[in-house]
């Protein structure tokens, strides 16, 4: 009897063990697949972040080098060769039509446009209840303006001769239009990058903003309001200030969120027992 029952029990045990092992193997394969997908997503995010950070830091340090190089070339070596070459290159293109076009473009880098534009952006993000964008806009705008006036006073470079249309009176280095164009339209590009989901629309807007910044710089050269070195230094300093400002505001934003989360997530205080009238 034992000899008959033993093979049957052994077969059931083997079948049970096989099913158990098969179930474990399936669970391990499923877990491995989920883990593999998670690892792939993680490294894809790291790779994307790395590319973004590498590009930003590369341009950031290139801007530092460019500003130092231009400042040394202009104020230490007294070299105006590139400035004169750019003016000579643009000379044949000067006519009434081009002057009207460039005067129209340069308006979008003036305070008469930038002040109302910044106020509209602040109002828009206040209505949308996006407080950090409503803080970033005036912070970057006001600090950029103060930085521009401070640098102009420090370097005190005179404007080029032979300006077209009305002559600008204040100092020339660096170009305020170039600096403010980078900080204002660069901030718009930053907001576009973080808020627009459609990749085609996102890149189209960012590329158009970059082209517009360059056109504002070109308009200052064409109208002979600035030297080439003024505009280049304005672009470099504008990008430096934009990146630094966004980084500092982002750090403050993270700290504010952490403090807010700590308050929100804190356990409620235990209720205080009220004294009854019978207590003595």
pLDDT (0 to 100) of residue 10:
46
* DSSP for 85-131, written as a single string: HHHHHHGGG--HHHHHHHHHHHHTTSHHHHHHHHHHHHHHHHHTT-H
Task: State the average pLDDT over residues 119-140.
Answer: 80
Q: Does the pLDDT of residue 38 top 80, yes or no?
A: no
* Cα angle: 90, vertex 223, 235; to 5 degrees: 85
Say which residues have a Cβ less than 8 Å from residue 23's Cβ, sequence separation at least 6: none
* Cα angle: 211, vertex 245, 240; to 5 degrees: 50
Low-confidence winner among 22-26, 53-57, 101-105, 173-177 (lowest mean pLDDT) = 22-26
Task: State the average pLDDT over residues 3-20.
Answer: 50
Q: How far is residue 152's CA from residue 159's CA, in Å, rounded to a whole number?
A: 11
What mean pLDDT value characterizes the chain?
79
Which residue has better confidence, 65 or 13? 65
Can you give the residue ranges of every domain in the chain?
A: 80-257
Task: State the average pLDDT over residues 16-40.
Answer: 59
Q: How many CB atoms lie within 10 A of CB 163?
A: 13
Q: How far is residue 79's CA from residue 110's CA, in Å, rounded to a whole number?
A: 28
Q: How far is residue 208's CA from residue 197's CA, in Å, rounded to a whole number?
A: 17
Which residue has better confidence, 279 or 231? 231
Q: How far is residue 262's CA from residue 211's CA, in Å, rounded to a whole number?
A: 44
pLDDT (0 to 100) of residue 170:
84
pLDDT (0 to 100) of residue 266:
44
* Cα angle: 62, vertex 186, 94; to 5 degrees: 85
Tokens of 136: 């970033």
Q: Does the pLDDT of residue 262 top 80, yes or no?
A: no
Task: State the average pLDDT over residues 227-233.
Answer: 94
* DSSP for the chain, written as a single string: -HHHHHHHHHHHHHHHHHHHHHHHHHHHHHHHHHHHHHHHHHHHHHHHHHHHHHHHHHHHHHHHHHHHHHHIIIIIS---HHHHHHHHHHGGG--HHHHHHHHHHHHTTSHHHHHHHHHHHHHHHHHTT-HHHHHHHHHHHHHHHHHHHHHHHHH-PPPPSS-SSSPP-S--SS-HHHHHHHHHHHHHHHHHHHH---HHHHHHHHHHHHHHHHHHHHHHHHTTSS-HHHHHHHHHHHHHHHHHHHHHHHHHHHHHHHHHHHHHHSPPPPPPPPPPTT--
pLDDT (0 to 100) of residue 9:
47
pLDDT (0 to 100) of residue 45:
57
Pick from 133, 231, 224: nearest CA to 182: 231
Low-confidence winner among 45-54, 210-219, 237-246, 264-273 (lowest mean pLDDT) = 264-273
């Amino acid at each position: 009897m034992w000899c008959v029952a033993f093979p049957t029990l052994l077969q059931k045990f083997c079948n049970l063990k096989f099913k158990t092992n098969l179930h474990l193997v399936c669970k391990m394969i499923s877990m491995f697949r989920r883990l593999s997908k998670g690892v792939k997503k993680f490294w894809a995010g790291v790779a994307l972040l790395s590319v973004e950070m590498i590009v930003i830091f590369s341009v950031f340090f290139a801007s530092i080098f460019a500003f130092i190089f231009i400042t040394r070339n202009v104020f230490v070596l007294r070299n105006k060769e590139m400035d004169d070459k750019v003016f000579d290159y643009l000379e044949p293109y000067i006519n009434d039509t081009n002057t009207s076009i460039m005067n129209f473009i340069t308006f979008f880098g003036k305070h008469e446009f930038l002040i109302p534009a910044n106020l509209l952006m602040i109002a828009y993000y206040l209505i949308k209840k996006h407080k950090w964008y409503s803080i970033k806009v005036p912070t970057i705008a006001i600090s950029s303006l103060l930085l521009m006036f401070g640098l102009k006073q420090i370097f005190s470079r005179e404007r080029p001769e032979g300006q077209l249309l009305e002559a600008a009176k204040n100092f020339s280095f660096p170009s305020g239009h170039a600096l403010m164009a980078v900080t204002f339209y660069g901030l718009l590009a930053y907001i576009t990058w973080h808020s627009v989901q459609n990749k085609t629309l996102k890149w189209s807007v960012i590329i158009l903003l970059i082209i517009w910044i360059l056109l504002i710089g070109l308009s200052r050269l064409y109208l002979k309001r600035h030297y080439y070195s003024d505009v280049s230094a304005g672009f470099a300093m504008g990008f430096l200030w934009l990146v630094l400002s966004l980084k500092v505001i982002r750090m403050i934003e993270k700290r504010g969120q952490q403090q807010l989360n700590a308050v929100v997530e804190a356990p409620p205080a235990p209720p205080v027992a009220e004294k009854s009238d019978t207590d003595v």
